[in-house]
């Protein structure tokens, strides 16, 4: 019997080592992850839609400066923020995505507006912000996204010519994407993903997060997926859709499909990271091939589980 609802969230994967984490910081991460999964569960318990649940969960993570999405996003080489996000509804495979926005408080809400009110799927930069203004999506001053921690990250490598994935300790890396996937009581699936990109990025680089099929995918009866990792590899492998394709055409179950992508396909190409996924039966899979991944899950009738380390 299909469970009445299920949800999983993530806050990025990478070199996340317990010995390098203070008790206070671990508690702070755990609290925000629990807030995100709790608001989604409240929606689903009241027979709400999966698309509402994933949007609200990601908003909580975007609003926390602990994660590289929304407030607390990393800086580009030019000292700005360029935010990417996408959302997909498994009922009809409608989707909305944005890249390079600098003034939208919650990019995931702009994606939702594009999906439901726009004629297109994917908008960029100033055009996306114009759409946001026209449709009542909250605009903020770019300084809203800045934090001293992220500024120090940029200054440490700005003149090196290197880019850097969001990190937690020196000489380590963390893929600072956030995301959520959900199954609701009506059997609908949805996925949402949001990121600030990589520190010191140049030339308008875009990763997998806003690309439907790479960073985000949802299809009723199959699965919903949100990816976190080195975006170039997820783009080249169309990672989120690959999970669905393995299930639809390859005879894999959710766990088998997600593990094949994360533990075989991505590493074979030279990349790493993780993903979260839920299928139409409420099964949840959260594989990663790094030291850790900020993550949480809950099903109807079960207690929430929040985890960070391997």
Q: Which of 43, 49, 54, 72 is nearest to 8 (CA)?
A: 54
Read off φ and ψ for residue 261, nearest 5 degrees: -65, -45
Contact 72, 145 (CB under 8 A): yes
Best CA proximity match to 192, nearest among 48, 53, 2, 36: 53
**Which residues, in sequence order, are CB contacts of 154 under 8 Å at separation 6+?**
74, 75, 77, 79, 199, 200
Report the 3 state secondary structure along 199-261.
Answer: ECCCCCCCCCCCCECCCEEEECCCEEEEEEECHHHHHHHCHHHHHHHHHHHCCCCHHHHHHHH
Catalytic residue list contains 193: no
- CA angle, corner 246, sides to 36 and 194, nearest 5? 30
Alpha-carbon distance of 40 to 199, in angstroms, equals: 30
> Which residues, listed in sequence order, are joined to residue 297 by a DSSP beta bridge?
8, 305
Nearest partner of 98 among 40, 157, 58, judged by Cα: 58
Q: Which of 76, 99, 168, 177 is catalytic?
A: 177
Place of tokens 């926005």: 101
What whole-number distance in Å separates Cα of residue 55 and Cα of residue 223? 17
Q: If you search the block for the tokens 């600098």, which residue do you land on? A: 102
Active site residues: 177
């Amino acid at each position: 019997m299909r469970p009445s609802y299920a949800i999983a969230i993530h806050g990025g994967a990478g070199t996340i080592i317990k010995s390098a984490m203070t008790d206070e910081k671990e508690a702070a991460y755990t609290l925000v992850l629990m807030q995100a999964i709790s608001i989604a569960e409240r929606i689903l318990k009241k027979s709400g839609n999966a698309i509402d649940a994933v949007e609200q969960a990601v908003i909580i993570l975007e609003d926390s400066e602990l994660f590289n999405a929304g407030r607390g996003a990393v800086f580009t080489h030019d000292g700005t923020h360029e935010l990417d996000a996408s959302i997909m509804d498994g009922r009809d495979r409608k989707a909305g995505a944005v890249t390079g926005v600098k003034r939208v408080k919650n990019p995931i809400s702009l994606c939702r507006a594009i999906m439901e009110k726009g004629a297109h799927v994917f908008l960029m930069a100033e055009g996306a912000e114009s759409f946001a203004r026209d449709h009542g999506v909250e605009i903020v001053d770019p300084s809203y996204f800045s934090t001293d921690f992220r500024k120090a990250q940029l200054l440490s490598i700005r003149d090196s010519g290197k880019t850097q994935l969001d990190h937690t300790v020196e000489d380590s890396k963390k893929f600072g994407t956030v995301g959520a996937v959900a199954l609701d009581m009506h059997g609908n699936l949805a996925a949402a993903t949001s990121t600030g990109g990589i520190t010191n990025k140049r030339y308008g680089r875009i990763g997998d997060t806003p690309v439907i099929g790479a960073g985000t995918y949802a299809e009723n009866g199959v699965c919903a997926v949100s990816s976190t990792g080195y975006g170039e590899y997820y783009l080249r492998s169309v990672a989120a859709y690959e999970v669905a394709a393995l299930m639809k055409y390859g005879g894999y179950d959710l766990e088998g499909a997600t593990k094949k992508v994360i533990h075989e396909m991505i590493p074979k190409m030279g990349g790493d990271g993780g993903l979260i996924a839920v299928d139409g039966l409420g099964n949840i899979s959260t594989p990663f091939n790094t030291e850790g991944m900020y993550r949480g899950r809950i099903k109807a009738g079960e207690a929430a589980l929040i985890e960070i380390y391997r």
